[in-house]
Structure 1
Amino acid sequence: MGDQAFYPIGIPGQPWGVQERAAWLAKQGRQRSYADEVASAIDRLRESFDVFAYGSLDYGAEHYPLLAVRSRGWREDLPVLLVTGGVHGYETSGVHGALQFLQRHGHEHDGRANLLVVPCVSPWAYERINRWNPDALDPNRNFRKHSPAGESAALVDLLEPLRDAVLMHIDLHETTDSDESEFRPALAARDGKAFEPGEVPDGFYLVDDTERPQPEFQRAVIEAVAKVTHIAEADARGEIIGAPLLMPGVIKFPVKQWNLCAGITNARYATTTEVYPDSPRATPQQCNDAQVAAVRAAMDYALRHVDS
C-alpha cells in the first residue's frame, strides 16, 4: 500500500512510539460495564461455586478484579477442565458463552473433574470493545512468564501450578468484521508494517495446535457446534484467515510458539473457538449457544478419553 495512510494514527512504515500509543489510548472510550455485566453475573454464582480473585489490574483510576470460578470441593486426584473467555475484550460471546455455560451446565461433571472457568481475562478491553490492553498489547500474543501484558501475566501465574493437571482447555474467541476494519490495520500501523487486507470467514471454526494436534477432538467439537450454528467454509485458496483447512472448520497454529492462551498449560486436549457474530445467519444468542456447545462437547470428549 506504499506510503498511503491506512490508519489515522502514526506514519506509514514507522512503528509507534510513546506519542502514538498515547493518541491511540485517548481514543478508547468506555462503552459497557464489566462490573454490571460480568462481575455481577460471576458474583451470583457464589451459591454453588467457589469464586475468587486471582489478581487485579489498575489502569489509571480504574480498578479491575480478575475473577475465576471453580468447582466447590476441588479434588487433587481429578483432572481439570479449563475454560477461558474474554482474552480479547471485544469478543462478546467468549465472555457470555462462558457465563452461560456456568449458569446452565456448570455441574455436569461434578465428581468426575475439577472445573475452572475464567470468563473475562481482559476486563478493560471488555469495557472498550477492544482487542488490546491500554498499552496497545494483544494479550493473546503474550501468555508467558513475566509477560508485559498484565492480563496475560496474571492468568499464567494462576495456571502455573495446574500446567500438568489440566486435561482440557478451551479458549473462547470471535472473529469479527472489525478485525479487518480496525484491529488488523491498527496492528500493522503500530508495528510500522504494510496492511494487507484479508477475508473474514462467515461461521464458526476452531484452531488446533500445530505441535500437538488432536484432530478427532476437534472434529467432535465441530460436529456438536454444527447443530447450533453454521461452520465456516474455506476461501478460494482453501484457507481460513490464511491457514490451510485441516478438516471442515479446523485450522492450526503454533499455539505455544505464539504465546497464545490455549498453550499456557500442557493440556492433552486444547482448542480455540472462533465465532462470527456479524453473520446475517447468526444472532448474539446463537453465538453464545455455539460457545456453550463447543465447551460441552470438548469436556465430554476429553473425559471419555481420559485414560486412552
Structure 2
Amino acid sequence: MKLVSLSYAFSGNRNLRCFQRFIYDVAIGARPATSMFIPTSSKVRCRIFSNNSHNPDADAEAFSRIVKNRTCTKEFDPSKSVPLETLEKILSLTQRAPSSFNLQPYKAVIVRDEIVKKRVAYCMTDNNIKKVLNASLTLVFASDLKPGQEIDKIMALEREHGLPEQVVKARKFGATVFVGSSNEAEKVVKKTLFSTISQVTQMPTINSSEGWAFKNTMTAAQTFILGCHAYGLATAPMEGFDARRIRDALYIPDRYEIPVVVSVGYPSEEEKPSVRRTTPRLPYEDVFYMDSFDFPAYKSS
C-alpha cells in the first residue's frame, strides 16, 4: 500500500488533470508511484513513501554483479538440464521487456528435444553447432515483420488491464500510423512524408519493418540473457546461423525474421566462472558523451 503526502499549488486546470491522471494510473497499476510525472509549470511538491521492503542499494549491487559476471559461454555441460520451472520463471520475466506501443513483436521457440536440437544445430555455423547440441536448451527469437496484425489483440489486453479507453485509442492510432502497415511502398511514402514534416516539427523516424522488429526483439533477448545469469545459468547468444534453414526446421512463418539465437545451460568445467574471463570493453569516454557528441563523458572518479 502506498502512502502519499502532498502539498501543492496548481497553476491551471491542465496541471490538475495531469495530477489526476497520475493518481488514476497509480491506482490501476499503469504507473509506479515512484515515477510521478509533474509538468514543469506546476508547483507540486510530492513526497511518496512506501511500506514495502524495497532496497535500491541491494538491487543495484545484485544487478551489477549479474552484468559484470556475464560472459558468452563456449562450452556447455551436456549432462545438466535446466529445470522447466526455472525456465518458465525466466521467460515470464522476459515478457516484462519494453516494446514500442507495447506491441511485443516477437515470438521465441524453445528447443529442448534432442532431435530438434540436431536439426537446429546443423543450421548454425561451425563454431556454434556444438553449443546448440550440448546446451540444455536453445531459444530462437523470431521478430514479427507484420506487427500490425496484432494491434487489436494488444489493445484488447490493455482494456482488460484497466487502461482508460481514450488512452487505448490514442495508443492504437499511434501504433497503426507508425508500425501498422506491412506494405513497404506505404512505408516509403510515410518515411518521406515524416522526414519532410520533421523540418518544421518533431517527428519520429520510420524504420524498416525488420529494423523496428529487431530493435524491439533485442530488448527481450537481453532481458532473457540477464535473467538466465541471475538464475545461475550460462548463455551463448549467436548470430552465426542460416535463418532460412532455421525457419524451415522449426516451421516458423515467413512473416518472422530471426535476429538472434541463445543457447542456455550450465558451463563445462573449463567454462566455470572461476576460470573464464570477461572480454574487454572500450574506454568509458570512447562510448559515452555529455550533452553533445563533441564532449566525451569522463568518469568523475
Please indicate the TM-score interval, normalised by the length of the shorter structure: under 0.3
Higher helix fraction: Structure 1 or Structure 2? 2
> By percentage of residues, which structure has more strand?
1
Normalising by the residue count of structure 2, what TM-score does the alignment of the two structures yield?
0.22
TM-score (norm 1): 0.21
Greater relative contact order structure (CA < 8 Å, 6+ sep): 2
